[in-house]
Amino acid sequence: MAWTRFGKKKDMPGGLWIKCESCGAMLFRKEFEQRHRVCATCGYHFTLPARDRIALTADEGTFAEMWPELCAYDVLEFNDRVPYGEKLVATRKKTGENDAMVTGTCTIKGIPCALGVMNFTFLGGSMGMVVGEKIALLCEHAAEKGLPVVLFACSGGARMHEGAVSLMQMAKTCGALTRLHRAGVVSISVMTHPTTGGVTASFASVCDLLLAEPGALIGFAGPRVIATTIKKELPKGFQRSEFLLEKGQIDRIVARAQMRDELARLLAYATGRDPVAAFKPAPVPADAAEPVAVAAEAAGKKPKKKAKKDG
Amino acid sequence: MSESPAKSVMQDGLAFERPLNELQQKIDELRKLKQDTHLDLDGEIELLEDRKRRETADVYSKLSPWERVNVARHADRPLTSDYMQLMLDDFVELHGDRVFGEDRAIVTGLASMDGVRFLLVGHRKGKTVKDRLACNFGCAHPEGYRKAMQKMRLAEKMKLPIVTFINTPGAYPGIGAEERGQAAAIAQNIYDMFELRVPIVCLVIGEGGSGGALGIGVGDRVGMLENSYYSVISPEGCAAILWKAGDKAPEAAEALKLTSKDLRRLGLVDEVIEEPLGGAHRDPKGAIERVKAQILTWLRELQATPIEELLAQRYRKFRSMGQPTSG
């Protein structure tokens, strides 16, 4: 539930070079941004700010933001070292966003959908009343209009400063998704690094399709909490996307460079369109370090298998 | 429980119980003396009893949130198993999630009480050391949540209402739990509970620990016992993260607004069920009677409501929690 675990990481230095959090390689900032914050050496997917994510996902100029005016308030008069109200004001100023969720409608490769993207830079993407409310409003709007929903999760969990109010956003968002489901509308959750706590334990896990970016930390309890509880070292790759795929918890791992195409392809199936027309793959960079299976599938190749006859 | 001298005063969240326990001891001693010596001590005993009542009422009206957390965790506080024993006329336990295993941290079964039948789902903490270990101290694994849902589906088919008892520090944080999708199991339960076509009553009887509590906590009526707590994170966890100091748990408990009164004020629970004077651990029977009466009242109310309306109300209730402002 603790967003500060991740939020404490140093902001990226403003210099020309940037060090990969995963492999330590020095990356040329301009190229790094061009690659949408994916390490050229090891393929590590850095956390992507919400606006960049929208730019990368939605067709240019189609994103129409909804409910940007919604703001949280200090419902508990929560005061740790800085009063929550002051923290909100300062974070809004620093990030230029009102809270940790951006919602609206757009088209992805021409397919209309409702899009919700979490913003990790806003208090670790923590889910409070605004995140919960925006997801609920988005689902209700989508149910009414028959628009499929795509939600990008990126969060340390519930926002402690809103106490049990934030906890109940788990119920609010799940409830809204049941309404969407009843309307026969498809939902897609994309879990990105990191997706933990109350976000994983609510809307991010109950969408119809569950995707994840490579190497994303996805789980209920944070790895440190688990290690302290069981007093053992955690296995390598524990709680990473690949681990979740192996354990049968998610449908697909999709690299950032292919995400838009993959979403369009799935949305096409979900809305009665031709997936072949929707899915024109983006060129895969030759040096991309993605899992082979993912890259092969993304290029439209399917492993050849001889059809066996039953009995 | 927390009388160990190693514990600091701060950590001993039950220090306020000491003078009350001492008074009780004196009363017990006088009673024994009266029995042994046949002296007329009724006046003194009555005086002390009166003093104890007044002091208990005084102490309990002034408990800090952290002290209430400690009452919620009190070793003698009635557990789900006590409620079952004292409330039910019949109980058929149903085990297992039909997929992976049997999680003893959540008990499920068909129950009958004063002629009313329902499915009971409850966190189980265990009484003895062996029990507690078997129940993981009330911390359920994914199979516990999945068992709960599998039985709740059965209740839906049998047209039986559902009553849940919430008493957990939180869902279990472990390797196996994560491997088997702890987050997904909780999320699925929350999701499915909105769709279950039978009345649901949820009661926080001790600890309402975060997602682990909410995983069986979506209902048409949600009640909390007076000295229980319901929180997004444990005070200790919150203190470690925001204060960077685990010993700031009392401050975190205060800030989190996790008491029953707070939750009621915030509109997150429907009712606070008052406990007998000095907490449920002083009079488990009295506490359980009150809870039983509340369950029966609610089930009567809910069963008179058409199911579609009930589902709409259930959604609206949680939908309205935490309304942001517009700029």
Q: What is the pLDDT of residues B108-130, one digit of tens each?
A: 999 999 999 999 999 999 999 99
pLDDT, position A285: 58
- Does the pLDDT of residue A303 top 60, yes or no? no
Element (H, E) at A64: strand A64-66
Q: How confident is the prediction for chain B on average, in pLDDT? A: 94
Q: How confident is the prediction for chain A on average, in pLDDT? A: 88
How large is the average pLDDT for residues B209-227? 98
Q: Give tens-digit pLDDT for B223-240.
A: 999 999 999 999 999 998
pLDDT, position A187: 98
pLDDT, position A306: 43
Going from the C-alpha of B6 to that of each of A62, B134, B311, the distances in angstroms are: 64, 27, 51
Q: Pick from B280, B252, B256, B253: which is nearest to B266 by CA?
A: B256
Contact predicate A253/A214, CB 8 Å? yes
Contact predicate A18/A167, CB 8 Å? no
Q: How confident is the model at residue B26 (pLDDT cuts 50, 70, 90)?
A: very high
- Does the pLDDT of residue B8 top 80, yes or no? no
Q: Which residues contact B49 (CB under 8 A, 6 or more apart)?
A: B27
Q: Which residues contact B305 (CB under 8 A, 6 or more apart)?
A: B199, B313
Q: Does domain B71-319 have CATH number 3.20.20.30?
A: no
A193 in contact with chain B, both atoms CB, cutoff 8 A = no
CA distance B157 to B51: 54
- Does the pLDDT of residue A197 top 90, yes or no? yes
pLDDT, position A13: 52
Residue numbers of A between 236 and 295 with CB closer than 8 Å to B: 238-239, 243, 247, 249
What is the dihedral sign for C-alpha A159, A165, A170, A174? Answer: negative
pLDDT, position A283: 60
pTM of the model: 0.91
Residue numbers of A between 62 and 91 with CB closer than 8 Å to B: 69-73, 75-76, 78-81
Q: How confident is the model at residue A11 (pLDDT cuts 50, 70, 90)?
A: very low
Token duo for residue A136: 């609920």
CATH number for the A47-272 domain, one of 2.60.40.420, 3.40.50.970, 3.90.226.10, 3.30.365.10? Answer: 3.90.226.10
The verdict on a CB contact (< 8 Å) between A247 and B181 is yes
How large is the average pLDDT for residues A271-279? 86
- Does the pLDDT of residue B321 top 50, yes or no? yes
Q: Where in chain A is the domain with CATH 3.90.226.10?
A: 47-272
Q: Pick from B50, B17, B18, B44: which is nearest to B31 by CA?
A: B44
Q: Where are the domains of chain B?
A: 14-62, 71-319
Q: How confident is the model at residue A288 (pLDDT cuts 50, 70, 90)?
A: low
Q: How confident is the model at residue A282 (pLDDT cuts 50, 70, 90)?
A: low
The verdict on a CB contact (< 8 Å) between B173 and A225 is yes
Q: How confident is the model at residue A277 (pLDDT cuts 50, 70, 90)?
A: confident
Nearest to B232 among A167, A230, A239 (CB): A167
**Residue A195 amino acid letter:** T
A133 in contact with chain B, both atoms CB, cutoff 8 A = yes
Total CB pairs under 8 A between chain A and B: 212
- Least reliable range by pLDDT among A41-45, A53-57, A78-82, B57-61: A78-82
Token duo for residue A260: 């838009």
Token duo for residue A242: 């690949």
Q: How confident is the model at residue A101 (pLDDT cuts 50, 70, 90)?
A: very high
pLDDT, position B118: 98
Question: Which of B99, B139, B178 is the mutation pick for testing A, counting most A CBs within 10 A?
Answer: B178
- Least reliable range by pLDDT among B26-30, B145-149, B262-266, B298-302: B26-30
**Residues of chain B found within 8 Å of residue A133, distances taken between Cβ atoms:** 322-324
CA distance B145 to B73: 22
Q: How confident is the model at residue B244 (pLDDT cuts 50, 70, 90)?
A: confident
Contact predicate B210/B204, CB 8 Å? no
Please provide residue B229's backbone torsions phi and psi, each rounded to the nearest 5 degrees. -135, 160
pLDDT, position B1: 37
- This model of the complex carries an ipTM of 0.94
Angle at which helices B307-319 and A163-182 cross, to 10°: 140
**pLDDT cut 90: percent of chain A above it:** 76
Token duo for residue B84: 């079952």
Q: Pick from A160, A243, A145: which is nearest to B239 by CA?
A: A160
- Does the pLDDT of residue B317 top 70, yes or no? yes
With CA atoms as reference, the chain B residue closest to A173 would be B319
- Does the pLDDT of residue B3 top 80, yes or no? no
pLDDT, position A291: 47
pLDDT, position A228: 84
**Residues of chain B found within 8 Å of residue A203, distances taken between Cβ atoms:** 187
A235 in contact with chain B, both atoms CB, cutoff 8 A = yes
Q: How confident is the model at residue B4 (pLDDT cuts 50, 70, 90)?
A: very low
> What is the separation of C-alpha B163 from the centre of its chain, rounded to a whole number of angstroms?
13
- Does the pLDDT of residue B220 top 60, yes or no? yes
